[in-house]
Structure 1
Amino acid sequence: TQRPLPPLQWATPPPSLVGPPAPLLAGLPGSSSSPALRVLLCQRCPGGIRKRIASTKFSNVFLEAIPVLQWARHARLPCARHVGRPRLTLRPWLVVPVVRDALTRLNTSANGCMFDARPGAAAGVSPCVRCAVVGNGGILNGSRAGAAIDRHDYVFRVNGALTKGFERDVGHRTSFYVFSTNTMMNSLHNYASDGFRQPPQTLYIFLPDHDRDYLLLRAALTHRPVDRGPDEGARPERYFGKDLRAEKFKMFHPDFIRYVRNRFLRSGILDPPQRRLYRPSTGAVMLFAALHTCDEVSAYGFITPDYQAYSDHYFDLTHKALVFYANHDLQLEMSLWQELHQSRLLTLHMRR
């Protein structure tokens, strides 16, 4: 029997911890300069997430105008602070040109908004955008959730996103593949024997965790191998296929990642000396991106209180216990998913 989780305590941090610079807000949800973008970001749905937030404990935590994505308009010197992480392998005066060069190439309308055109929207279907966000948890093994996942307008997947052979449980559609270069490379190495040898051929959302994310993005957009760093010589078509148009790529804004960390997942790991290690999991950032851009969100394969009953991943051939790594706080994330589910801001897939 699972003991009930204690309620989370929400403390609003100082605005300096979460607020993006004012110039970054133009044309983003909540601004007045881009009506078309507001439509794309689901402002017409009568019962969407944004309408429900006000009546929940999260009403003072969500920021509607936080920038979710970064693109060419952000390619200017202040972005140096966005990549100033302790783990960077390049000196700042080398990192900044790489960041600016990579972002400058994200110069299409598709790079600045999550959704271009929803499948079936022209046919007069519901104005609400429904998203399935699919983690890799073992709770999906035997779930037969695949058909329900595929019925959503958009499907987000992450890291070792295996679908072949698991369609009955996890579906086959992938609208967005979310990753950092580090998590993608680790997934390709660790799950190759399970059949994960290439990310899904779809649209890609980088989580900028390191300079190597900007280096790989630049390599993809210039159709050249990575020119430095731990991935030097890597050919982007190995991961993303031969079609390397800019429209296929997006990148999360570092302010959005900090906002998720500071307002929703402010863990004790942030206390020294672990502070340098911690960030929300890639799946957590993916889920919050959906919560800020979709009208209805269903989360599958995320950690639940009965996680010990399931293997680490749905594609594991033998049972493997979930591993809690020092750089994420999965217990805090588990509590948060329960709170969001109970607040009806998302629908969390559970088996018990």
Structure 2
Amino acid sequence: MQWKNKIFLFVVLCGGLIFTLVAHSMQKDRAVFPRLVEADTQAPTSKTGATCGCATCVTDPGWSGWFNQRFDSQQQLYLRDGRIPPDILQWWLALQFTKDEVDMDDIIRKLFKVISTPLSSNGLQPPHWTQCRRCAVVGNSANLQASQYGQLIDSHDFVIRMNTAETRGYERDVGGKTTHHFMYPESAVDLKAGVHLVLLPFKPLDLQWLASALSTGNIKRTYMRVKDRIWADKDKVFVLNPAFFKYVHINWTQYHGRYPSTGMLAIIFALHTCDQVSVFGYGADPNGNWNHYWEYNRFAGAFRKTGVHNADFETALIKRLDEEGIIKLHSSRAGMQHTNRTTSEKANPAKVFLG
């Protein structure tokens, strides 16, 4: 029995020694590699390389070198209560040949006595990586007629419309939801409660008009008769930053035309606001006409000849964004729309003439 006691004591001593060595080793590992040891107890993080909670996100790295060369995530979308940098101001004043002696500091100061200063660059709370913000940018093309896209458009988190777009009576094709409405004085309309008014200022008078239209109603003309008053939630009124105009002109439309169109600005705005972007109602209808979906306008295609915007280049740019899988462009005929970022698109995206 004595030899059995000795064996038992030996086993206990060895076990204690092994336990001590293992515990010491674990403490040492925790001190040297704390993240490795604690990783199993931490909440899971975003999927590798992803920047949002969608299956694919606009700003995910590695999708498109062509896109990454043009996209600048640091852009400030909205004008804030401050001075416009001199180089931006000089370029912007030349858009519609405004004289340099205008007092921009005074104009901006008076404007922000009427509207609120945006709390962030895009007026939204910073998204969490688990969120998936989906934008529908809805143009006014007649190719929306009989499209039956209304329910799909309204399913998006944000729906961006522009200028004199109408929805009443056209909900089946264009939807009825609007979260952001892009306009300038000559295309202004009254808005429903809760809709963000996004002013596209092409000249200093546009800023003065906005302040007036939301207060005194004194300004009734620009280069044409305009609405002297508009209805909108003042706490949801924003002004697109002139610096953003120039950024789109240089990085995206690449000096084609004098400045980008409202439709082009809306798409690039959406790329800076949402995680996924779908585009509806851009381009001519199947017969090559440039009418609005709610009206026939024999002058609708005149913009293609003025040189202010380069419609052909912008059309090709939108197609390229679609082919790169950055946006989802819905055509006038169901079944022809592309899908975002499939494996084949990433491996061999179709090209148009844009460099």
TM-score (normalised: structure 2): 0.68
1:95 Cα deviation (Å)?
Answer: 4.1
Change (3 A) 1:303 1:111: same
Q: Which residue of 1 aligns with 2:330?
A: 349
Please state if 1:180 is matched with 2:155: no
Structure 1 counterpart of 2:295, one-letter code? D
Cα deviation code 1:83-115 (max 9, x no counterpart)? 422525565244442133224654444574333
Structure 2 counterpart of 1:257, one-letter code? F
Once the two structures are overlaid, the 10-residue window that deviates more, 102-111 or 62-71, is: 102-111
Q: Which residue of 2 aligns with 1:60?
A: 69
For structure 2, the residue ranges without an aligned partner over 5 or more in a row are: 1-49, 337-355
In 2, Cα distance between equivalents of 1:142 and 1:312: 14
Change (3 A) 1:76 1:256: closer
In 2, Cα distance between equivalents of 1:82 and 1:99: 17
Change (3 A) 1:301 1:126: farther
Q: Which residue of 2 aligns with 1:12?
A: none
Paired residues for 1:43-82 under 5 Å: 43-45=51-53, 47-52=56-61, 54-72=63-81, 74-75=82-83, 78=86, 80-81=89-90
Is the 8 Å Cα contact of residues 69 and 250 (structure 1) preserved in structure 2? yes
Structure 2 counterpart of 1:159, one-letter code? N
In 2, Cα distance between equivalents of 1:347 and 1:284: 15
Change (3 A) 1:229 1:161: closer
Q: Which residue of 1 aligns with 2:18?
A: none
1:325 Cα deviation (Å)?
Answer: 3.8
4+ residue runs over 6 A deviation:
231-235, 318-321
SS of aligned partner of 1:205: strand
Structure 1 counterpart of 2:263, one-letter code? G
SS of aligned partner of 1:174: coil
Q: Which residue of 1 aligns with 2:174?
A: 170
Is the 8 Å Cα contact of residues 157 and 178 (structure 1) preserved in structure 2? yes
Please state if 1:148 is matched with 2:127: no
In 2, Cα distance between equivalents of 1:203 and 1:158: 11
In 2, Cα distance between equivalents of 1:345 and 1:307: 24
Change (3 A) 1:114 1:348: farther
TM-score (normalised: structure 1): 0.69
Please state if 1:259 is matched with 2:252: no
Change (3 A) 1:99 1:322: same
Cα deviation code 1:290-330 (max 9, x no counterpart)? 011100000001126x7544552111258887331421111
Larger Rg: 2
For structure 1, the residue ranges without an aligned partner over 5 or more in a row are: 1-41, 186-197, 270-277
Change (3 A) 1:233 1:265: closer
SS of aligned partner of 1:286: helix
Q: Which residue of 2 aligns with 1:339?
A: 320
| Structure ranking higher on relative contact order (CA contacts 8 Å, 6+ apart) | 1
In 1, Cα distance between equivalents of 2:93 and 2:109: 14
Change (3 A) 1:62 1:151: same
Q: Which residue of 2 aligns with 1:14?
A: none
How many pairs align?
278
- Provide the aligned C-alpha RMSD in A: 3.3
1:43 Cα deviation (Å)?
Answer: 4.8
In 1, Cα distance between equivalents of 2:220 and 2:190: 22
Please state if 1:131 is matched with 2:132: no
Please state if 1:312 is matched with 2:312: no
In 2, Cα distance between equivalents of 1:200 and 1:301: 20
In 2, Cα distance between equivalents of 1:232 and 1:322: 20
